[in-house]
Amino acid sequence: MDTTIQLGVVILGALGLSVPFGLYIARMISFEMRPLERPLAKVERSFFRLIGIDVDKQMTWKEYFLALFMTSVISIIFVILVLSFQNYLPSSQHVDGLPIDLAFHTAVSFITNTDLQHYIGENQLSAVSQMVALTFAMFVAPAFGIVTAFAFIRSFIRKNFGLGNFYVDFVRVIITLLLPVALISSLLLMITGVPQTLTSSETIKTIEGNNQSIPIGPIASLESIKELGQNGGGFFGANSAHPFENPTGLSNTYEMFLMLVIPLSFPIAYAKLLGTGRGISILAVMFIGFGGLLVFALYTHPASSLLETRFGSFSSTLFNMISISSNTGAVNASLAGMTPNAIVSLLVAMFVQAIPGGAGMGMVYMLIYVILTLFVVGLMVGKTPEFMSMKINPKDVKKGVFLFLLHPALILIPTAIAFSTGYAQAIIGDTITPLGYTQTLYEFTSAAANNGSDYFGASANTPFWNWSTGLIMFLGRYVPIALMLAIAGSFTVKERKEVIEPIKTKGIVFVSVVSVVTFLLTALAFFPFLVIGPFSM
């Protein structure tokens, strides 16, 4: 397929799918009647009664965050227990329980929507662990990000009425959004050739007449929510480069659709609730950023022998760009097969986290960039920044600045520690080259951005890398969510009145200014480290 046609099919197809998704999400945010409201409400009420939820209770930002955080911690503990004692579970005779450091790393990785893998799934995990622990985590993890975006957007449209109820949002997102779409997607992936079975392996005869055991399992069900929920963790160590996870060009294209649908749905929902111009402007900023990075990545074509040959250079680069830009982290070609230009693009996408970013979280990060942009413009024209008929006070700006600065701190400080203690050299070799530095920087960038793609893979399965990246993933997820909800809580009590914004939050000027400010802030924080890393490769 011609590369231009392929790009158009993927982007326009995903954008078309995101429109009905976005309109549905808008109804969930504003508590409007949804399609099939009565049967959906009956299913939801049974869950609410089961766990004792008062659906009418509205939460403050602190209550909302505490409920989200405690649910996450309980989920992490559950996954640790399953992985640590998987050898006692059914169909687990061929595997042992994971060591505590690897179990901790894997549990935190999947519950934080990162899915950074320091294990080889087909060798170290049973089918039960893949289903009960990891597939479960792949549903709850994106739901945490989606409900955070729900609460943040509600702060613009609801005054003195709380941010909603975390448990209500959480149950509704899983039951009425993720589960049905993932089920349909599993069936479609099975049609394209992705296996789905409870059998852990198949024995075949080779051409030499020997027996060979082929790992297999419930792959389609994991693969669908892996891409839909921006999870990225593969059933196999080779991830989406494995022919069982991604067997054909059709499956490759469909998986790209799935990765983009939810991130692109939020600007549509934002447009529905707060004005078409505002939503389209946010969408335009996302596409400008993604388009610029994609063009830069394709300036030279990957030509390494490590590149996936089934899909070709363009399709492999496009898949990886969509995956990393949407914070999915799945790869259908080795990062070692990418050019330095492509690696720079992937790193910048993880630095920004909003072009389009992960499920829900990308939209909130983009709105944080909008707040910072309005603050910068306000300083230039001598006006107090205003947004959505609200004054942005110094505390809100400080929270936004801290949220932005937290990301480079979580990346650069542990990178320096890894080199100073020799743990980086233990993997990359004693001689520190631009490639080795890039691989280490990429590992912590992926962890802090809750992305999950990496160079090291199972070679990083050591106590230092498991505990350090596990901690970075945890902090990189929940500290930003706390700050986001705190800003949202501040917005819910602000006085609303028509004011003149320092710059209208829609239109070509707004799109241009936000794009430039986002690029400059990212460059100021990270450009020196790109120079000594991928730019020097």
**How high is the pLDDT of residue 526?**
94
Q: Is the pLDDT of residue 437 over 70?
A: yes
Contact between 356 and 260 under an 8 Å Cβ cutoff? The reply is yes
CA distance 424 to 415: 8
pLDDT in tens, 416-431: 999 999 999 999 999 9
Which 3 state secondary structure label does DSSP give 175?
Answer: helix
Burial class from Cβ neighbours inside 10 Å (0-12, 13-18, 19+) for residue 42 reads exposed
Residue from 138, 389, 142 nearest 265 by CA = 142
CB count within 10 Å of CB 415 equals 21
Q: What single string gives the DSSP state of each residue in 33-69?
A: PPTTHHHHHHHHHHHHHHTT--TT----HHHHHHHHH
Q: And the tokens for 433?
A: 């080259």
- Quickly state the pLDDT bin for 111 (edges 50, 70, 90): very high
CA distance 370 to 284: 13
Instruction: Tell which wins on pLDDT, 170 or 56.
Output: 170
Q: What residue ranges do the domains of the chain occupy?
A: 360-536
pLDDT in tens, 115-137: 999 999 988 998 899 999 999 99
Q: 118: Cβ–Cβ under 8 A, 6 or more apart, which residues?
A: 102, 105, 106, 456, 457, 458, 460, 461, 465, 466, 469
pLDDT in tens, 13-63: 999 999 999 999 999 999 888 887 788 888 888 888 888 888 888 999 999
Burial class from Cβ neighbours inside 10 Å (0-12, 13-18, 19+) for residue 430 reads exposed
Q: And the tokens for 489?
A: 């809580």
Q: What are phi and psi of 433, to 5 degrees?
A: -105, 165
CA distance 219 to 216: 7
Angle in degrees, CA 275, 277, 278, rounded to 5: 70
CA distance 29 to 164: 9
